[in-house]
Amino acid sequence: MANGKNQPLYSTEKIADYLVKAVQQARNLADTRAESYALGNLGKLYEHNQQWNEAKDLTEKALNLAQSINAADIVYQWKWQLGRILVAQENKEEAILAYSQAVETIRTLRSDIVAVSSELKFDFRDSVEPIYRELVELLLQPSESGQTDTISQENLRQARKIIEALQLAELDNFFRNACLDAQPVEIDLVDKNAAIFYTIVLEYRLAVILAIPEKPLVYYTTNISKKEVDSTVKSLQDALTKPQKRIFFENYWEPAQKIYNWLINPIEKQLQANKIKTLVFVLEGSLRNVPLASLYDGEKYLAQKYNVAIAPSLELIDPQPLARKKLEILSMGITEGRQGFPPLPNVRKELEDIQNQTSSEILLNESFTEEEANTEVVNTTYQVIHIATHGEFSSNIEDTFILTWDEKINVEELRNMIRSGTQQTRPIELLVLSACRTAAGDNRATLGLAGIAVRAGARSTIASLWYVSDEATAVLMKNLYQELINQEITKAEALRRAQQQIIKDAQTGIVNPEFEHPYFWSTFILVGNWL
């Protein structure tokens, strides 16, 4: 606090005096929890003043008291504080232990932390997320020689586990409900031709852990600040979505190639040597907003070389391929302007094209209500649900919705809609949201996309990062379903082929030549099971 002259209202000594008195009062009242809080905050004050030995002693006393009353909600805070102090004392091994125990305590507190977050506006980004990030940074800290190859496989495995845990914690926080049933999955058992990229954006470096089946984990970094990562992603988004910049491919190629060089180029030879066909990304930070299929190597887009998928967490992947002997599809959409949203005139053609290629039932315009959809799903088992309507993905669950004819339905209502009746015993194989988009200006909006995918109980979701013309969408969706009926390829490959086809057709004039630009086809991403 400060007075009118911008001077501290209370000196450090005064604050320490108050906290010492609080400790004594808590002891007189036999209030162990209050005593732990006072001691811990006194330790934090000493930490702030870089009096490390005193800070460590007070923090350990606070921690012991919290543990004695099983107050896990404050145990993790003092474990985190102890970890920071140990880092400052250059005791890396014990710091990793303290941080790991903090994360494990958070895991046992999933429901409680979500409740606090919801009721008290608990700031997940300030109070929980940094613990995971700081632990990963410790685990991936190079030796004094600075060589990244000195990081042990054990540390890489633990770092990967922590990145997975952070993804799950974020989704819990998004749902305001610890509802995720996650199970560890070995990549070797999912797909021997897939490589999993775990990225984490640290303050001054971009770290990537690569998992290739039956191979040791690979680790590589780019010495680049978080600020530059974020600004490069912003440049890429602007070059894609702003019409005045989209005119010239060059505006896009530069940031797209830069990100390609960060993520793919360092390990491309290993990908080729191991005959990798599919690249699966577990992303965080601003990289979540990158249309990965359109990363550029100087000659080709990533979609012209590999299948691409996004996994909110590999632990949430149900490793079952799409059964396609006969695709049963429920297609729903709106062509007319509703509730302030513009019309989507090409949606009718989009749904009719799907019906011509597959076994499809259509609910269009006034037929597309939550009640009608529930009735349809109850009576028939569908493998694919295709929704062509406006919607938005946000990092706030309250702002994530799908537009029906008469209302907006939220994530939970969508879940109930597509899991009603017979679907409860058999998950949806694929949910396609062809006209939704991520919220403008929300750097974590893809959390809402992942949230819809997970909460709806769909093994996979295809959706867009931004809204494009429904004419281009109709073309791409027609290509997609032509490929999905091919039993020999994965869903990820079906999407890649659909994207390749629209590029080829635009180049040859079969469709609008503008559609060659990544803006029109790279917006669609596959989240979840890619098989």
φ, ψ at 224 (rounded to 5°):
-150, 145
Q: Are residues 365 and 457 in the same domain?
A: yes
Is residue 1 in a domain? no
Mean pLDDT, all residues of the chain? 88
What single-letter amino acid sits at 356?
N
Q: Are residues 310 and 332 in the same domain?
A: no
Q: Are residues 250 and 341 in the same domain?
A: no
Q: Give the pTM.
A: 0.91
State the total domains in the chain.
3
What 3 state SS string does 36-99 have? HHHHHHHHHHHHHCCCHHHHHHHHHHHHHHHHHCCCHHHHHHHHHHHHHHHHHCCCHHHHHHHH
Q: Which residues touch 307 (CB under 8 Å, ≥6 apart)? A: 277, 278, 279, 490, 492, 493, 495, 496, 530
Q: How far is CA 146 from the centre of its chain?
A: 30
Contact 58, 77 (CB under 8 A): no
φ, ψ at 243 (rounded to 5°):
-55, -40
DSSP letter at 343? Answer: P
Is residue 3 in a domain? no
The arrangement of strands across the sheet holding 436-438 comes to 408-410, 401-403, 391-393, 436-438
φ, ψ at 388 (rounded to 5°):
-110, 85
Q: Are residues 147 and 234 in the same domain?
A: no
Name the domain boundary from 175, 206, 226.
175
Q: Are residues 378 and 485 in the same domain?
A: yes
Q: Are residues 112 and 212 in the same domain?
A: no
Q: Are residues 148 and 245 in the same domain?
A: no
In a 3-state reduction of DSSP, which class is residue 419?
coil
Q: Are residues 157 and 246 in the same domain?
A: no
Q: Are residues 291 and 337 in the same domain?
A: no
Q: Are residues 158 and 196 in the same domain?
A: no
Please tell me the distance from the alpha carbon of residue 288 to that of residue 263, in angstroms, as a whole number. 13
What 3 state SS string does 170-196 have? HHHHHHCCCCCCCCCCCHHHHCCCEEE
Which domain does 214 fall in, by range?
Answer: 187-316
The torsion angle over the Cα atoms of residues 316, 321, 322 and 326, rounded to 10 degrees, is: -150
Please tell me the distance from the alpha carbon of residue 185 to that of residue 528, in angstroms, as a whole number. 13
Q: Are residues 310 and 377 in the same domain?
A: no
Name the domain boundary from 143, 175, 207.
175
Q: Are residues 241 and 310 in the same domain?
A: yes
Please tell me the distance from the alpha carbon of residue 53 to that of residue 385, in angstroms, as a whole number. 60
Can you give the pLDDT of all 531 residues of the chain as single tens digits?
444 445 555 688 899 999 999 999 999 999 999 999 999 999 999 999 999 999 999 999 999 999 999 999 899 999 999 999 999 999 999 999 999 999 999 888 865 655 554 443 346 777 888 999 999 999 999 766 556 568 999 999 999 999 988 888 888 877 766 556 666 666 666 789 999 999 999 999 999 999 999 999 999 999 999 999 999 999 999 999 887 777 777 788 999 999 999 999 999 999 999 999 999 999 988 999 899 999 999 999 999 999 999 998 887 777 777 666 678 899 999 999 999 999 999 999 999 999 998 888 999 999 999 889 888 887 778 889 999 999 998 888 888 899 999 999 988 888 888 776 544 556 788 999 998 888 777 877 887 888 887 877 788 899 999 988 899 999 999 999 999 988 889 999 999 999 999 999 999 999 999 999 999 999 999 998 899
Q: Express each pLDDT in 17-57 by its tens digit.
A: 999 999 999 999 999 999 999 999 999 999 999 999 999 99
CATH number at residue 354: 3.40.50.1460
